[in-house]
């Protein structure tokens, strides 16, 4: 058997030669499970597992032959003969299986099996019998061990998703998770910022916003100032913010739009044969994330996909919401074991990029000279310290997103000039540059006559688009000499956009795992003692100045949210 195992490591995995098809992934993972089973003594196996092993050996051998991968069949046959001679042989060393792809869970294995068996059911006489046998073994405790004696692939928090590349590679079809979806209760949690629904809600909303340590990052020694500081800022900024909300109808439309997106996403998932309950968790206003989690628990959801409605990841948006969610789930013994898959960001997805390009192309046609229009991407800003000191990937992801959108436009023959700027800065600290208002003035001075604003970091209309861009920046542009102004609407419930989000949810389902064993996202990235001391002193001085100096507080009063 050891000889055949070494033979296996001498040729590449089958899935590498067939573009990660579900059949190939099932075949490879089934092979790995057979190796694990064959390296265990008979006394360690239940009857169902032994029977499933025999059935699985026959099916995998047949599938290997159908794929033309004779090496697999030869290895399995050699293993079977050697196992009969040496039934007590111990487990192989991890390095002997280093090229095999580990299955992340028994759910993932079964999902690949169901998808693969549907392709071979017409010609496989034993498919139905094997399905029943494997489902029975799947419920056995001993079956839920790792299929391969190798550590699971480490997930990188690179802003894409917790699912690994192998899962996402064949996520176009929903059939690989539809079987598990019928046995489980799937939930999809949409995370968003939240917004005041009435003018009376503005001040408490601002307090919740600035009480978040991911929005105003104070040194740990002075975290006790967080709430007093939030109270002061919310009081001084409430009047200005109320004016902005009054200008757009007296409140934020964010919850209404998010509800519409949740409904559209539910329908898109149903069209792909995935039944899921939709939940909305707002960070700073109702319905809060805590409320959504309690409803998820009440509904007895067995698998959860978390989808922040922020295309790009930032520690102050997706990061803050995800950290809050993780802390809530871990505090509850029941929810701590709930399989959860978190899609950190999705700015790179083809559906999102093409949807944005479609909207831009459509708006360009409203100008008399479309080719002369400057495409002006305006993204929500973050403090510069988040990027430089805390390692926030927001700036890099935003620039990559703009590049992908412009590449898509160029492939369609649209090669307009473009520029990226950041809006909505708050307070006296330095934020990401260039600033939107300053760039608009500069473009007017340079003779730009036509400007198309693209709110690239927003997928829903709210005060930053309806008041800040449509009113303040538009007026500033006209005053600066720009004659033609246009603005791309947010994606909202755009059909191609919602369909792509549904695909993202389906791709993330197989990778769900309990948060108690998942790597948490740390907001404290600065480990340099000297830098931490400098930040602590600066933070303490800034906090006390803001507490004691009304003149600086007036700076917040004149800044829109």
Q: 506-528: per-residue pLDDT in tens?
A: 999 999 999 754 444 444 444 45
Q: Which of 36-40, 62-66, 152-156 has the lowest mean pLDDT?
A: 152-156
Rounded to whole angstroms, the Cα distance separating 68 from 158 reads 36
The percentage of residues in the chain with a pLDDT greater than 70, rounded to a whole number, is 59
pLDDT at position 126 is 44
Answer whether residue 108 shows pLDDT above 60: no
Question: Among the residues of 374-482, which ranges form H helices?
Answer: 384-388, 394-411, 436-445, 463, 474-479
Sign of CA dihedral 80, 82, 84, 86: negative
pLDDT at position 474 is 98
Answer whether residue 145 shows pLDDT above 70: no
> Average pLDDT for residues 400-422, to the nearest whole number?
98
pLDDT at position 50 is 58
> Average pLDDT for residues 393-399, to the nearest whole number?
98
> Average pLDDT for residues 119-138, to the nearest whole number?
41
pLDDT at position 428 is 80
Greatest mean pLDDT range, 67-76, 181-190, 433-442: 433-442
- Please enumerate in sequence order all residues whose Cβ is within 8 A of that of 205, keeping only pairs 6 or more positions apart, or say none: 194, 195, 196, 284, 285
CATH class of 186-342: alpha beta
What is the overall mean pLDDT for the chain?
A: 74
Rounded to whole angstroms, the Cα distance separating 159 from 405 reads 18
Which has the higher per-residue pLDDT, 546 or 454?
A: 454
Answer whether residue 97 shows pLDDT above 50: no
Of 251, 244, 283, 248, the residue nearest 559 (C-alpha): 244
Q: What separation, in Å, do the N-terminal and C-terminal C-alpha atoms of the chain show? A: 67
pLDDT at position 131 is 43
Q: What is the DSSP string of 48-107?
A: HHHHHHHHHHHHHHHHHHHHT-HHHHHHHHHHHHHHHH-TT--PPPGGGGTTSPPPS-HH
What does the chain come to in residues? 561
Answer whether residue 104 shows pLDDT above 70: no
Of 309, 305, 311, 265, the residue nearest 159 (C-alpha): 311
352-393 per-position pLDDT tens digit: 999 999 999 999 999 999 999 999 999 999 999 999 999 999
Of 258, 156, 197, 322, the residue nearest 330 (C-alpha): 322
**How far, in Å, are 229, 332, 367, 427 from residue 223 at the CA level?**
10, 25, 51, 19
- Please enumerate in sequence order all residues whose Cβ is within 8 A of that of 211, keeping only pairs 6 or more positions apart, or say none: 226, 227, 230
E strands, 172-252, are 186-192
The percentage of residues in the chain with a pLDDT greater than 90, rounded to a whole number, is 55
pLDDT at position 244 is 97
Q: Which of 142-146, 199-203, 259-263, 321-325 has the lowest mean pLDDT?
A: 142-146
pLDDT at position 10 is 36
Which has the higher per-residue pLDDT, 83 or 318?
A: 318
Per DSSP, the chain holds a count of helices (H) and strands (E) of 23, 9
**How far, in Å, are 208, 287, 556, 558 from residue 234 at the CA level?**
9, 20, 9, 12
pLDDT at position 448 is 97
pLDDT at position 219 is 84
pLDDT at position 530 is 61
171-218 per-position pLDDT tens digit: 333 334 444 445 789 999 999 999 999 999 999 999 999 999 988 888
E strand or H helix at 303, and its extent? strand 303-308
Q: Answer yes or no: same fold for 186-342 and 350-490.
A: yes
Written as six digits, the tokens of 50 are 């032994």
pLDDT at position 135 is 40
Rounded to whole angstroms, the Cα distance separating 414 from 412 reads 6
pLDDT at position 221 is 83
228-279 per-position pLDDT tens digit: 999 999 999 999 999 999 999 999 999 999 999 999 999 999 999 999 999 9
Rounded to whole angstroms, the Cα distance separating 27 from 119 reads 13
pLDDT at position 76 is 52
Could you tell me the residue ranges of all domains in the chain? 186-342, 350-490
Q: Looking at the DSSP assignment, which residues form a beta bridge with residue 454? A: 377
pLDDT at position 429 is 85
Of 355, 265, 300, 340, the residue nearest 508 (C-alpha): 340
Which has the higher per-residue pLDDT, 489 or 519?
A: 489
Q: Give residue 455's pLDDT band: very low, low, confident or very high (50, 70, 90).
A: very high
Cα 44 to the center of its chain, rounded Å: 40
pLDDT at position 426 is 80
Q: Looking at the DSSP assignment, which residues form a beta bridge with residue 339? A: 514
> Which phi and psi (to 5°) does residue 295 adopt?
-70, -35
**Eight-state DSSP code of residue 449:** -
pLDDT at position 218 is 83
> Average pLDDT for residues 97-124, to the nearest whole number?
39
> Average pLDDT for residues 534-538, to the nearest whole number?
53
Place of tokens 């498919």: 127
Fold annotation for 350-490? Rossmann fold (3.40.50)
**How far, in Å, are 130, 171, 264, 459, 495 from residue 498 at the CA level?**
37, 16, 7, 11, 5
E strand or H helix at 532, and its extent? helix 529-548
């Amino acid at each position: 058997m050891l000889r055949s195992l070494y033979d296996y490591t001498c040729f590449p995995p089958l899935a590498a030669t067939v573009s990660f098809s579900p059949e190939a992934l099932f075949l490879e993972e089934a092979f790995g499970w057979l190796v694990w089973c064959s390296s265990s003594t008979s006394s360690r196996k239940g009857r169902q597992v032994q029977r499933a092993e025999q059935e699985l050996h026959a099916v995998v051998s047949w599938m290997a032959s159908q794929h033309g991968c004779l090496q697999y069949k030869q290895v399995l046959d050699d293993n079977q003969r050697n196992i009969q001679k040496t039934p007590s042989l111990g487990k192989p060393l991890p390095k002997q299986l280093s090229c095999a792809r580990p299955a992340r869970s028994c759910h993932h294995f079964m999902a690949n099996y169901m998808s693969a068996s549907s392709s071979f059911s017409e010609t496989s006489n034993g498919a139905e019998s094997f399905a029943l046998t494997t489902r029975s073994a799947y419920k056995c405790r001993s079956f839920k061990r790792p299929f391969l004696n190798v550590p699971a692939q480490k997930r990188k928090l690179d802003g894409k998703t917790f699912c690994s590349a192998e899962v996402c590679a064949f996520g176009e079809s929903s059939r690989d998770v539809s079987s598990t979806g019928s046995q489980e209760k799937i939930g999809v949690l949409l995370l968003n910022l939240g917004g005041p629904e009435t003018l009376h809600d503005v001040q408490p909303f601002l307090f919740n916003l600035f009480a978040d340590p991911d929005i105003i990052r104070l040194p740990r020694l002075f975290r006790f100032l967080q709430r007093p500081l939030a109270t002061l800022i919310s009081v001084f900024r409430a009047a200005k913010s109320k004016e902005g909300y009054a200008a757009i109808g007296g409140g934020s439309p964010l919850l209404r739009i998010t509800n519409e997106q949740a409904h559209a996403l539910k329908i898109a998932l149903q069209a792909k044969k995935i039944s899921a309950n939709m939940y909305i968790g707002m960070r700073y206003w109702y319905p809060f994330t805590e409320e959504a989690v309690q409803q998820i628990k009440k509904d007895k959801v067995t698998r959860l996909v978390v989808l922040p409605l922020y295309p790009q990841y930032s520690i102050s948006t997706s990061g803050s919401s995800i950290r809050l969610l993780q802390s809530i789930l871990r505090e509850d013994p029941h929810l701590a074991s709930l399989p959860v898959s978190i899609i950190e960001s999705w700015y790179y997805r083809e559906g999102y990029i093409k949807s944005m390009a479609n909207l831009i192309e459509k708006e360009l046609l409203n100008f008399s000279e479309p080719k002369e229009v400057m495409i002006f991407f305006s993204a929500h800003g973050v403090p510069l310290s988040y990027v430089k000191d805390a390692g926030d990937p927001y700036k890099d992801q935003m620039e990559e997103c703009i590049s992908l959108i412009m590449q898509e436009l160029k492939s369609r023959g649209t090669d307009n000039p473009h520029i990226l700027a950041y809006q909505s800065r708050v307070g006296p600290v330095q934020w990401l540059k260039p600033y939107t208002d300053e760039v608009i003035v500069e473009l007017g001075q340079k003779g730009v006559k036509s400007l198309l604003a693209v709110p690239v970091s927003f997928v829903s209309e709210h005060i930053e688009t309806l008041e800040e861009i449509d009113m303040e920046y538009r007026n500033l542009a006209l005053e600066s000499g720009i004659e033609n102004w246009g603005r791309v609407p947010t994606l909202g419930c755009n059909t191609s956009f919602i369909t792509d989000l549904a695909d993202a949810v389906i791709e993330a389902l197989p990778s769900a795992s309990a948060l108690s064993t998942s790597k948490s996202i740390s907001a404290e990235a600065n480990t340099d003692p000297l830098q931490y001391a400098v930040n602590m002193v600066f933070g303490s001085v800034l906090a006390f100045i803001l507490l004691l100096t009304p003149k600086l507080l007036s700076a917040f009063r004149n800044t829109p949210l």
